[in-house]
Structures are given as C-alpha cells and as structure tokens.
A and B are shown apart, each in its own frame.
Chain A
Amino acid sequence: MTDEALLIEQLKNVQTKEKAYIKLVSLYKERLYWHIRKIVISHSDADDVLQNTFIKVFKNIDKFNQNSKLFSWIYRIATNEAITFINKRAKQRNLDISDYQLELVSTLANDDFFTGNEIQLILQEAIATLPKKQRLVFNMKYFDELKYEEMSEILNTSVGALKSSYFHAVKKIEKYIKMKTN
C-alpha cells in the first residue's frame, strides 16, 4: 500500500481520522498556501481560504472516490475556494473580477507581506491582467512547477488546452514587462 493510499484509509477511519488529518495538513499546508496566495494576493485572505480548504477536506473526505490523486483533489478544492472567495469579494465591491484583481495588485507596494522588488511587482501586475484561466495556468506551471498532467487533473482541462493557455500567458507577460521596463 502506498503512503497516499494508507493516509486515505486512515482519514476515512473514525479512529485514526484526527491523527491522519494532522499529517495531511502538515504535508500540504505550504504548497496549498502559496497556490492560494497567488490567487487571492493578500496574506490574511490566503490564511482564511487555506483554513476553509482544510475544513472542507476534513468534512468531505468520505466523498473522495480516489479517481484522482489525493493532492490533486485537495488542490482542486483549494482552487475552487480561492476563486469563490475573490468572486465574492469582487461582487461585494461591485467590481468586475479582472478590475478587482488589478485593484488587489495595486495594494501590494504597501503590503507588509510583499517583499518583492520592482520587477516582481511588475510581474504581479502583468499576471493580474491575464484572463482567469491563463492566470491560474501560469501560476501553477511557472511558480508551482506542476506537470501538465497534474494540472489537467486539477483543472479538468485537456493538456493541449493548458499548453496553449500557458503559451499565451507567458507571451503576454513578457510583452507587459518589456513595455513597463523600457
């Protein structure tokens, strides 16, 4: 039995559930945090979404049918939670999601938990100008270094479509940075 299969079994068993859950959190907390953070931008929002993600995992572990890897399943929950979160926030502020994303990035220069340099700030601005899907694909491929097959499982999109999204995203970002720095 693989480590993942054992963990799933322990998570589904009432007697071992809590202990296995602590292991699961410690295994995935950082990777999920950075994935969420790149979507919601602010640390406190990322913290909220990360907690909600693990709560959802804990509550729904019995529904996990093992058609995909456990990590892919959790990653998908985190992605959905983060997107739902920013959609809600944009709605509350009466803003289109792209405008809201740009507004979020515009606050980064004064964010205590953004320690990037000027170029990294421009890179975040460039990412914020991308359509939602391209933004997700770029972050997952460029920063998280996920394989297209893994991304395909998480985002429920074909590998070909993902490659195309990534290509367009990289090109747009390159163009944006060159325009801003020249």
Chain B
Amino acid sequence: MSNHIKNSEEFLNSISRKKNGFSVPKNYFNAIEEKINIKLAEERFKNKSGFDVPNTYFKKFEEDLLAKVLSPSPVNETKVISFKERISKIIPITVAASVLLFIGLNSFIFDKTTELTLDTLSENEIEYWLDNSDIYLNDIAIVEAETILEENDFYFSSLRDEIIEEYIYSIENSYLLYELN
C-alpha cells in the first residue's frame, strides 16, 4: 500500500508541486490581528443594547397575540352630527336674527305659523338660508376649526387600524410627510 501511495504522491507532486493555487489579498496576514480584535470587541457588546422586556413577554406573546386576534372587533358606528347642530354653533348671535328675519320674510315658502326661533327651524330651512345668503365659506371654516379639531380627536380614537392604514395608502406620500412635519 505504501508503494502505491508513494507512486501516486510522486505523480501529484510532479504536476502540482504541492501548490493548491489559492492566494490572499496583499498584507492580509498583517491586518488579521486587528480584524479579530475588532470582532472580539463586538462580541463583548453583543446583546447588550440595554433594552429589556418584561419577564414573561416572550413566553406569553403567542397567547396574547391569539387572544387579540380572536376577540371580536368593536363595531364602529359612524357618528352622525346634525347639520342643524353644527350650523347653530357657527352662526353668531347677530347673524341669528338675520336668519330668522330671512325665514320670516320667506314664510310663504316655509309655511311658518309658529313663533320663529333657531330651535324651531328645520335643517331644510337653514340649508335654504345658506344657499341664498352672502355668508362666505371662509367664515364658516374659521368658526368651525376648533369644532373640527375636537371631533378629530374622537374620530381617531375610534378608528380601527386597518381603516387608518387604508387611508394612509390612499393619500400621497408627500402629503403625509407634510402632515408629520
């Protein structure tokens, strides 16, 4: 067996001269200590980010997640805000008199027999007044701003995540960035 190996080894030596053909980048072996030291330092700080989780967090994660998925999602009812309610907020007292006067003068249309107050007006009547009066949309926006803000708080608190996600996908990104800024 040893003679066989000797012959075969001699054959291999004659053609390859015991060279495997592999090479390394220039100065590779001079820099390896430094690389290893850096890696060692990294290893020392591995998993030491300082962040922590409650003791049972990962043990209970699946259970909590499943409970969340299986629990019935609350039915979101859309809050209907009366047009009349809203408009009564934005009409200053001085304007209210003009509304009543306007409705009074047009009583042939509204067929009013009872005493005219803001409370007795129907939504149709107020709508008619808006269409035919000189009130500007900007005036409504200024008075409404605060009301809308309060209502937004309510809307966001009751919206489901998927509805918010749908909204985000539907708007332009630049708009979202502007919002975030």
- Of the candidates A26, A51, A54, A113, the one whose C-beta lies within 8 Å of that of B23 is A113
1/0 contact string of B139-152 vs chain A (CB within 8 Å): 00000000000000
Given the known interface contacts A29-B29, A119-B16, A166-B5, the answer about A37 and B43 at a Cβ–Cβ threshold of 8 Å is no
Number of A-B contacts (CB under 8 A): 92
- Bound together, the chains give a CA A163 to CA B29 distance in angstroms of 33
A54–B9 contact, CB under 8 A? no
B21→A117 contact, CB < 8 A: yes
Contacting residues of chain A (8-26) with chain B, CB-CB under 8 angstroms: 22, 25-26
Question: Could you say which of B9, B20, B36 contacts A55, with CB atoms under 8 Å apart?
Answer: B36
If A58-B40, A114-B23 touch, does A120 touch B8 (CB 8 Å cutoff)?
no
Please, which residues of chain A bring their CB within 8 A of the CB of B81? none
Pairwise interchain contact A54-B36, C-beta atoms closer than 8 A? yes
Interface residues of B: mostly helix, strand, loop or mixed?
helix
> CB within 8 Å of A: which of B1-22?
1, 4-5, 8-9, 11-12, 15-16, 18-22
**C-alpha spacing A34/B29, complex, angstroms:** 11
B4 and A167 contacting across the interface, CB-CB below 8 Å: yes
> Do A124 and B12 touch across chains, with their CB atoms under 8 A apart?
no
Say how far A165's CB is from chain B's closest CB, in angstroms: 12
Task: Evaluate contact between A120 and B21: CB separation under 8 angstroms.
Answer: yes
Residues of B that sit less than 8 Å from A by CB: 1, 4-5, 8-9, 11-12, 15-16, 18-25, 28-29, 32-33, 35-36, 39-40, 43
**Are A43 and B20 within 8 A (Cβ)?**
no
CB distance from B6 to the nearest CB of A (A): 10
Please name all residues of chain A whose beta carbon is closer than 8 Å to the beta carbon of B15 when the two chains form the complex.
119, 123, 177, 181
Are B24 and A25 within 8 A (Cβ)?
no
Majority DSSP secondary structure for residues of A touching B? helix
- Given the known interface contacts A120-B16, A167-B1, A170-B9, the answer about A50 and B32 at a Cβ–Cβ threshold of 8 Å is yes
A58 nearest in chain B by CB position = B40
Choose from A30, A142, A167 the contact partner of B12 (Cβ within 8 Å): A142
Interface check A143, CB cutoff 8 A: yes
A141 to B152, CA, bound (A): 78
Contact B18 A142 (CB under 8 A): yes
